Copies of this chain bind each other. A is one copy, B any other.
Amino acid sequence: MAVYKLELLRKAMIEKEISALVIPSGDPHFGEYIQAHYKCVEWLSGFNGSAGTIAVTLKDAALWTDSRFFVQAEAQLSGSGIELMKMKIPGTEGIDTWIKKRLKRGERVGVVKELLSLSDFSMLQQDLMPLELVEIDDIFQTVWKSRPVVESYTINVLDDVYAGESVSTKHARVVAEIGEEGDFLYIISSCDDIAWLFNIRGTDIEFNPVPLAYAALTRSSMTLFIKNGTLSDELNLHLKKEKVRVMDYDEFDTFISTYPAASIRIASKDKISLNKYNISLSGGASFSADTKRGGVIANLKAIKNETEISGFRKAMILDGVAWVKYLRFIEERIKESGNPPGEWEAAAKIALLRAESDLYMGESFAPIVAFGANAALPHYEPSEAVHSIIGIDNFLLTDTGAQYICGTTDTTRTIAIGEITEEQKRDYTLVLSGMINLAMARFPSGTRGAQLDILARGPVFSAAKMYMHGTGHGVGHYLCVHEGPQSIRMEENPVVLKPGMITSDEPAIYEEGRYGIRCENLILCKEWCKNKFATFYEFETLTLVPFDTKPIIRDLFGKERITWLNEYHRRVFRELSPYLKNDDREWLKLKTADID
């Protein structure tokens, strides 16, 4: 099937006079999740991981993905005629080298218009030299017969009671951050930046509660470009009140090209497509890059205000209650001999339990419920068709999150089912130790995530093991569960951690073919104290879900972490118990009992 599609695509490539095509797995808004319409990588290859780039020449094809998806990609690409290229593994060719080996000087490499950001396009262009990289019209419109259309739905207003700040004050702060002296037009493509700025949410994208939209700001005006039919009366009122001009999504290109040439255009190079960049300059304006990593809006959005933080705390209680019921459900179903749930049933169960809350808006990412060897795949997702039944004598890893109107959650718990080995107990103890070490960190202002990463990773290293993903990603407020610009990972990221930033804390160990362990809480950076030396920060753990204490090897875990865990568990019980019925409360009492 995939081979046949490749042939169709190659015919179209010949017509467009390109000898190679690069197919990124994104859409024109550069978010993590995309509509079915843009899933060209999946359509062509069968690979449905969230990160993968394909390069096709007239003879060969290959897909680049990272370690999270190696096993999955290997299975899904089998027989597709598309070779798997394991990123960051020594010896793996880059996409540029791979293409350059196959093309002759003078041949052209194409990429579908709007799908590469200005920075990615420039980088690829540089890397591919002397080959020419060109933007082409959407080649998939002709070769992909039953391609889904782009869908759009009514946009919702996020009440001030949840947002905590009006659109106009956000606008003023953005303008101040931009810091431009003259007239400017600030161009925004990224939907979550737009959702934050305008206090709106949408349902156009799975998991990310954002509408498909563009926006353009000047010092004194805001224009929002949304799809036809998505403007409700409520939204209309809200935007009028905030003096936001509304225009059609499809008018954006004309607007940015015809805006007075005297005003400079500003955008973040990694959040605007080459095409939009070119259009914005076609009227004769000059360009000034927003050089803040992720852009100025992402930097403001990352720092949650008091209302958002209270919302997160509330979301954690709602989520914790669902988790307690879920964990008890798993335990009881395991006890019922002969009736263990499947991973898919378990994933559906926790979603149902969350949905009991009126504030629940949906899942924040595809649920991961993975037993035994499945958990060794960091981004394994059970499906109704393909999943395992939860077995015995191994770990069950559950990594799920929810969107509540007041906040977003992302939690991983690993629990031992039956008997586990000493190695498994040790690894569990080390992973949980790492998570707690990071949660306990205290550090001065100016600290970057890469400096703290070792706190979580160190215990894992001490067993000569490692995990290939980051330790922590930013989390949006009823927005994207993976949000920039901060991160806690091995790679240097110049963004410093600041009070109000919410980040995940999720060390792990994966033993391929055997088991996987990950523990994850969300942590809030806040001021701890200020003295002659510095202003010091610390983390507040937000997530409220008990950990399995059975596998913990006490001596290895150590006194400091035992104290932390006991205090955490007491807090979990204190905060959740008022919302639990007798049975659940008794169960939680047991699970959160002190260890020594």
Contacts and interface: CB of A to CB of B under 8 A. Distances in A.
B450 A452 contact: no
Contact of A442 (B448, B462, B558): B462
Nearest to A512: B532
B465 A533 contact: yes
Interface stretch (A122-130, A286-294, A453-461): A453-461
A464 B455 CA distance: 18
Given A464-B528, A464-B533, A558-B558, A458 B444 contact: no
A490 B447 contact: yes
Interface string A493-537: 010000000000000000000000000000000001101011010
A423 B441 CA distance: 21
A492 interface: yes
Nearest to A528: B464
A36 interface: no
A159 interface: no
A453 B454 CA distance: 9
Contacts of A559: 558-559
A189 B446 CA distance: 35
A3 B447 CA distance: 42
Residue of A444, A461, A494 ringed by the most chain B CB atoms within 10 A: A461
A238 B558 CA distance: 58
A451 B490 contact: yes
Given A442-B462, A560-B558, A450 B447 contact: no
A2 to B, nearest CB: 30
A466 interface: yes
Interface string A39-77: 000000000000000000000000000000000000000
A534 B454 contact: no
Nearest to A530: B464
Nearest to A463: B442
A443 interface: yes
Interface string A418-462: 000000000000000000000001111011101111110010011
Interface residues of A, number: 31
Contacts of A453: 451
A443 B492 CA distance: 16
A494 B452 CA distance: 16
Contacts of A441: 454, 458, 461
A443 B460 CA distance: 9
A420 to B, nearest CB: 20
B462 A444 contact: no
A559 to B, nearest CB: 7
A518 to B, nearest CB: 16
Contact of A443 (B454, B536, B560): B454
A447 B489 CA distance: 12
A447 B455 CA distance: 14
A485 to B, nearest CB: 16
Interface string A264-282: 0000000000000000000
Contact of A458 (B455, B528, B529): B455
Contact of A464 (B447, B452, B458, B529): B529
A533 B466 contact: yes
Given A442-B462, A560-B558, A450 B492 contact: yes
Contact of A450 (B450, B455, B558): B450
Contacts of A446: 490
A531 B464 contact: yes
Contacts of A534: 466
A444 B90 CA distance: 14
A441 B528 CA distance: 27
Given A454-B454, A533-B466, A558-B558, A461 B442 contact: yes
Contacts of A454: 441, 443, 451-452, 454-455
A461 B447 CA distance: 12
A443 B466 CA distance: 9
Contacts of A447: 490
A447 to B, nearest CB: 7
A240 B89 CA distance: 46
Contacts of A458: 441-443, 455
Contacts of A558: 558-560
Nearest to A465: B533
A116 to B, nearest CB: 27
A444 B465 CA distance: 9
A531 B465 CA distance: 8
Nearest to A559: B558
Contacts of A451: 450-451, 453-454, 490
A454 B443 CA distance: 9
A411 B24 CA distance: 54
A454 B451 CA distance: 6
Contacts of A455: 454, 458
Given A444-B461, A450-B492, 6 more contacts: A443-B454, A447-B490, A450-B451, A451-B453, A466-B534, A492-B492
Shortest Cβ-Cβ A-B pairs, 10 listed: A466-B533, A492-B492, A442-B461, A451-B454, A464-B536, A464-B529, A443-B461, A442-B462, A465-B533, A466-B534
13 contacts: A441-B461, A442-B461, A446-B490, A450-B450, A451-B490, A452-B454, A454-B454, A461-B536, A464-B529, A465-B533, A466-B533, A466-B534, A492-B494
